[in-house]
Structure 1
């Protein structure tokens, strides 16, 4: 294990099963995508596991709850973060996980419900 790597357990949310353990050199946030063994997963939730040792708690490992996903081709940069889809649309959820309620699968450029958001 490298000094800056984090022991991480990957857990598929549906059906609930462990996909195994790996060491990551970065801390995935919900909304990030992760490629493991040729498959892409969206990170839904991150939980820290601590261990009490020598009178103090230390980070033992991280559990990532993921689901199978395809990387979105459309992204917009809004207020310092990337969101899925065209953020100029009034129906865009401004989320890393879901595009919108009208057309969640996308794409935005051919959506009949596209309405420009008023700033």
Structure 2
């Protein structure tokens, strides 16, 4: 294991099935996308697992709760962070995980429910 890599367990959220363990050199946040063995997953939750030793606690591993997903093609920059979809629409959730309440799967382009923000 490389010195900067972190053991990570991937758990499929809907079935709670473990997809296996991988080593990551970055700390994925909810809303990030992860490619593993040719499949793309959206990170929904991240849990830290610590272990106590004589010197104190250290981060032993993390668990990522994921779901299969496609990387969104529509993104907007809102207050320094990327959100899914067209943030100029009233119904946009301004979230990294959910596009909108009315048409969550998208696309935003050509959506009949589009209403610009006043």
TM-score by length of 1: 0.97
For residues 15-68 of structure 1, give each alpha carbon's deviation from its aligned partner in whole angstroms, at most 9, with x where no partner exists.
111111111011000000000000000000000000011151110001000001
* Aligned residue pairs, count: 118
Q: Superposed, which structure 2 residues align to 1:1-119 within 5 Å?
A: 1-118=1-118
Q: What's the C-alpha RMSD, in Å, of the aligned pairs?
A: 0.7
* Structure 1: gaps spanning 5 or more residues: none
Structure 1 segments of 4+ aligned residues over 3 angstroms from their partners: none
TM-score by length of 2: 0.97
For residues 91-115 of structure 1, give each alpha carbon's deviation from its aligned partner in whole angstroms, at most 9, with x where no partner exists.
0000000000111111111100101
Looking at structure 1, the residues matched to 28 and 55 of structure 2 have their Cα atoms a distance apart, in angstroms, of 29
* Structure 2: gaps spanning 5 or more residues: none
